[in-house]
Amino acid sequence: MSGIRVLGGEVERGEQILTPDALEFLAMLHRSFAATRDELLARRAERHPLGFLPETAEVRESEWRVAPAPEPLRDRRVEITGPTERKMTVNALNSGARVWLADLEDANTPHWRNVISGQVNLYDAARDQVEFTSPEGKHYALRDDVARPAVVVRPRGWHLPERNIEIEGRPAIGALVDFGLHFFHNAVLGKPYYYLPKMESYLEARLWNDVFSAAEAALDVPRGAIRATVLIETIPAAFQMEEILYELRERASGLNAGRWDYLFSIIKYFRDAGEDHVLPDRDSITMTAPFMRAYTELLVRTCHKRGAFAIGGMAAFIPNRRDPEVTERALAKVREDKRREAEDGFDGSWVAHPDLVPVCREVFDAKLGDRPNQLHVLRPEVSVSAERLLDFRSAGGRATMAGLESAVDVGVRYLLSWLGGNGAAAIHNLMEDAATAEISRSQVWQWVHNGVVLDDGTPVTAELVRSVLARTAQRLEGEHLDQAVRLFERVALADEFVDFLTLPAYERIA
């Protein structure tokens, strides 16, 4: 295996995943596509005025449709998301959802053990042979009376490295490791389905399509067997939905409204653009805000115009089996959210907890009836301008002391969990992933660097943030608390904005 080194330690059954042939396959992907990936990442630093691209007008104006979806992806009314740890794998496969988004990205801390054991669990899931016994002795096994969901794997974004594998003297690309290992071991069984995150342009979608073509050819898999759903979770991608579908048209199965990362991307892109681009407290920005409505309506219209599925966003509220009142409020909020999406024409939506699957399914069952989806709902009345997508003042609300304290609290709590190996954290009855911490720290950075004054007249300064951070730290405990606090301070108050907090956070884990 010339030029390939595995630097990570031993992981149970790791030799089953990191075979010589699998590593050679990864090396082939890197040698073919790493340079293009590097070029596209460099382009991200070039922030231009946002709008619909004149050079791709022909794509938006011409007639074309994506390839018809394979049978397992034609009904996506409820999708459950979660990391690929063993217990979650069993619970997701038993949940009754139509799709399990097996998340190797934002809900997963990329500790080496998580990276490889996640692949082991996906290997077993593809063969219906996964089970788990907890340290307390509770046994989890696949049920015979529940239909298995289609497994759609979300690899890491293009920006993340995998330092435990070195190819030609440089860290591997996390996206290619996650996709490559899963595809190599499971494509032979069929259903090589993927969710693609964090893209910022149609050129990045073209790169994924080229990767897929090369992978299919290398393993003698029929062309077009791979199917991809793209998360529209960056503000540049919102202006290129049709172009992204076009680049993946042989393989595209839909777009997803990745709402939390979308908010992070807005803050990040306009972080130093002045008062008109400063967002209020996270909790005050709902999906009914005009600029968020423009985003979701455009997504539904674009998808159905091109024969692709529109998948709604995460219902972050989660039930608490020990607190009926919390559970009742959570179910009501999820039901309201899913009804809005179903009425808007979405074909299905996400939940983060098995107890929410029946709620989402009930709402979409009522709307869909006997149909598997809403591709027939074309939304011709929808017309979304660049101005509507960028009208952030329409959000209303203000920056408040409570919002600042919440951003610091949630950001530190999530980092404490992430550094400990858990990328999907239940915080204040919400299921949070890396997007939560990204919103929290980027909003604090934006408020400080734009001289925001809170609704009570208090200016947001670095000193104020540090005092809130100190009070927050006093309320928390944990092995990684000091690291979490220092990391949050670094990414919230640095002179230069850190593109992704998971990059410096990755330096702190094994």
CB atoms within 10 A of CB 461: 14
Contacts of 26 (CB under 8 A, 6+ apart): 4, 165, 167, 172, 176, 177, 180, 181, 184
Helix (H) or strand (E) holding 229: strand 227-232
Amino acid type, 487: L
Residue 433 appears among annotated catalytic residues: yes
Instruction: At 348, give phi and psi (nearest 5°).
Output: 175, 180
Which of the following is catalytic: 103, 178, 344, 433?
A: 433
Instruction: Give CA–CA dist 469/348, Å, rounded.
Output: 39
Say which residue the tokens 């960028």 belong to. 390
With beta carbons less than 8 A apart as the criterion, state whether 119 and 99 touch: no
3-state secondary structure of 162: strand
Instruction: Give CA–CA dist 369/356, Å, rounded.
Output: 20
In this structure, what token pair is assigned to residue 195? 């969710």
Residue 223 appears among annotated catalytic residues: no
Contacts of 421 (CB under 8 A, 6+ apart): 109, 111, 113, 114, 509
With beta carbons less than 8 A apart as the criterion, state whether 185 and 25 touch: no
187-225 burial, b for 16+ CB within 10 Å, e for fewer?
beeebbbbbbbbbbbbbbbbbbbebbeebbebeebeeeb
Instruction: At 299, give phi and psi (nearest 5°).
Output: -65, -45
With beta carbons less than 8 A apart as the criterion, state whether 177 and 162 touch: yes
Which of the following is catalytic: 76, 113, 154, 251?
A: 154
The residues annotated with a catalytic role in the active site are 154, 433
